[in-house]
Structure 1
Amino acid sequence: MTTLPPELANLPAPSLVETISYEARYDALKIRLVEIFAAAGIDYDVQDLETDPAQILLQVAAYQDVLLRQRVNEAIKSWFLAYATGGDLDVLAQWYDVVRLVGETDDALRRRVVLSIQGRSTGGTEARYRAIALGADVQVADATVYTIGRDPTIHVAVFSTALGGIADAALLAKVDAALQAPTVRMVNDTIVVASAAQQTIPVTANVWLLPQAPQGIIAEIETYLRAAWARDMLLGRDLTSSWLTAQLQRDGVHRIELVTPVADIVIPFNQAAALGVVTLTIQGRNY
């Protein structure tokens, strides 16, 4: 599933993209066929019979017309940042001097393009520094740029795709080198790069399974939770009980009772929550 940056998420579809209906195209072709027969002096009423040759030809023509129009729609969308994928997105990104990192997803590349556009000024904007940090290595899952009070020091907090989100020394060195480059850093800027502060949060829950659910579903639930955590729990994302319950409530689960954390956890904008030990205890089976 594509996750669009906020700047692109609520944009209307391009007006050039056509809403396609097979039924509408078939009806239009049928009307045109009757007109052609009438112009030739033939009173032919197209019958809705499966064996009618005209009916069969109209169906084939309508289907081919729909395929062609859909291909045109896809070609149009490939030139819009919100819709382009794969190689089409690579071409759009190059217009803004952004090149896909090895292993970088479409969503991550699209986010960097938006930040690159926002940070086109060479004045050391927050968006520009964040775009540079995200482009330093594919292991940078997220980064935030901020100052503390009136201190002009620019802090960059890095959240990693590995090690539970903790950015190691090698990754921090890559980000620091990218930000300290003479073509990037403003002369008067002091930039400090560090790993995003972590809150390691254990999760404990009681689980009631449906009668037909296999015993091994508990391991699958934990795997799903960790994958969802890696996807959603980026910098500044609060950890809520409702989010945890939703991730644990998988197929085969009758009920979830969250034990810990006992309340929603508010995460500061420059920090991220790390997932600790997950303890899921089966309490029985029920409908």
Structure 2
Amino acid sequence: MSTAIDLTSLPTPQVISELSYDTIVARQLAAFQSEWETLRQTYPDLPAYDVSMLETDPAVIVNQSESYRELLLLARINEAARARLLAFAFGSDLDQLAIFYDVARMPGETDARLKTRVILAIQGRSTGGPKERYKSVVMNSDIRVESVEVYRVGRSPLINVAVYSTEPNGVASADLLSVVTTALTDENVQLANDEFVVASAVRTVVNLAFDIWLLPDADDGTVTRAVTALQDAWAVEQTLGRDLVREWWTSRLMISGVHKITATAPAADVIAPPSEAIAIGSITPNLRGRAF
């Protein structure tokens, strides 16, 4: 689900220091040599002191030790600075940051989902809109809601709410849709003129079929592993508006031991509207033989 803000695209904040142990060592060594030369002007009997090549020299050992301590201190300062930034916060640090916006972590909720809810809470502050307010309400209603799209069709006054679920194939169950509807129609949420149509975002189930050729030394379980690899990959990629492209899903079948894949169904890419998600149904492989 898009929240209009991609935290991963933000530049590294200036408050985060670039750390380099070698730079610190070199700086401290130069400072030591400068101080030594200043002392030699006062005490001419002091010899020239160049410790740059003497790893066993006490001055070098102390410098390296103190430089490493400084590096650890700077790293800890960086960590503390990151903990106050939404893009970098995680765990209990993120919990503390989120609660400032009246957003508390739900049982079992991931950091990524919690960050999404924080952004939606900020974007949807107005009780009279925008749509991010209703998105926030839906995401807050149940941990099973992975993402949601809120939209109107043309000039229709109805507000469509497409729910993408963590349940099998992303299909929102009747129970989950009921929970979402109850949350949206709460008297403290629903505006007087708003009417909702709540439905599962997964409305298209695509059955796949393909011809497969194996390498001569591939074992008999290769086809099954290829199908599993595809299913696992789609479980990660499947989301609202994600097209099922032939080149993408055939490439996921090209595991070790597979020589060639030719898609036979569907005949073309399956395009998903922004408010819908695609589920993969049956996967039918046709073993055509072995070849190099």
TM-score (norm 1): 0.87
- Residue in 2 aligned with 1:71? 76
Displacement after TM superposition at 1:38 (Å): 2.4
- Residue in 1 aligned with 2:43? none
- Residue in 1 aligned with 2:150? 145
Task: From 259, 268, 275, give the equivalent of 1:263.
Answer: 268
- Residue in 1 aligned with 2:62? 57
Q: Does the residue aligned with 1:69 lie in a helix, a strand or coil? A: helix
Q: Distance in 1 between matches of 2:39 and 2:204?
A: 80
Q: Does the residue aligned with 1:157 lie in a helix, a strand or coil? A: strand
Stretch deviating more after TM superposition (208-217 or 94-103): 208-217
Stretch deviating more after TM superposition (147-156 or 40-49): 40-49
Task: From 164, 170, 191, give the equivalent of 1:165.
Answer: 170
Q: Deviations over 1:67-110 (max 9, x none)?
A: 22111112111111111111111112112221211111111111
Q: Which amino acid in structure 2 is aligned with residue 269 of structure 1?
A: P
- Residue in 1 aligned with 2:24? 25
- Residue in 1 aligned with 2:95? 90
Q: Tell me if the contact between 1:224 and 1:247 (Cα under 8 Å) persists in the aligned partners.
A: yes
Task: From 116, 120, 124, give the equivalent of 1:119.
Answer: 124
Q: Does the residue aligned with 1:158 lie in a helix, a strand or coil? A: strand
Q: Distance in 2 between matches of 1:243 and 1:96?
A: 39
**What 5-or-longer segments of structure 2 have no aligned partner?**
41-45
Displacement after TM superposition at 1:120 (Å): 0.8
Q: Distance in 2 between matches of 1:273 and 1:55?
A: 63
Note closer, same or farther for the CA distance 1:205–1:28 as it changes in structure 2 (3 Å cut).
farther
Q: Tell me if the contact between 1:153 and 1:189 (Cα under 8 Å) persists in the aligned partners.
A: yes
Stretch deviating more after TM superposition (180-189 or 209-218): 209-218
Displacement after TM superposition at 1:49 (Å): 3.6
Displacement after TM superposition at 1:263 (Å): 2.2
Q: Distance in 2 between matches of 1:48 and 1:216?
A: 60
Q: Distance in 2 between matches of 1:67 and 1:211?
A: 54
What aligned pairs does 1:1-287 form with structure 2 within 5 A after superposition?
Answer: 6-41=5-40, 42=46, 43-207=48-212, 216=221, 218-250=223-255, 252=256, 255-259=259-263, 260-280=265-285, 283-284=289-290, 286=292
Q: Deviations over 1:194-230 (max 9, x none)?
A: 1124211123345556778765455444444333322
Q: Which amino acid in structure 2 is aligned with residue 12 of structure 1?
A: P
Q: Percent identity?
A: 39
**What 5-or-longer segments of structure 1 have no aligned partner?**
none
Q: Distance in 1 between matches of 2:142 and 2:285?
A: 35
TM-score (norm 2): 0.86
Q: Distance in 1 between matches of 2:163 and 2:62?
A: 61
Note closer, same or farther for the CA distance 1:28–1:245 as it changes in structure 2 (3 Å cut).
farther
Stretch deviating more after TM superposition (262-271 or 101-110): 262-271
Q: Does the residue aligned with 1:198 lie in a helix, a strand or coil? A: strand
Q: Which amino acid in structure 1 is aligned with residue 119 of structure 2?
A: V
Q: Which amino acid in structure 1 is aligned with residue 75 of structure 2?
A: Q
Displacement after TM superposition at 1:246 (Å): 4.2
Q: Tell me if the contact between 1:248 and 1:256 (Cα under 8 Å) persists in the aligned partners.
A: no
Displacement after TM superposition at 1:121 (Å): 0.7
Q: Does the residue aligned with 2:7 lie in a helix, a strand or coil? A: helix
Q: Tell me if the contact between 1:233 and 1:273 (Cα under 8 Å) persists in the aligned partners.
A: yes
Q: Which amino acid in structure 2 is aligned with residue 31 of structure 1?
A: A
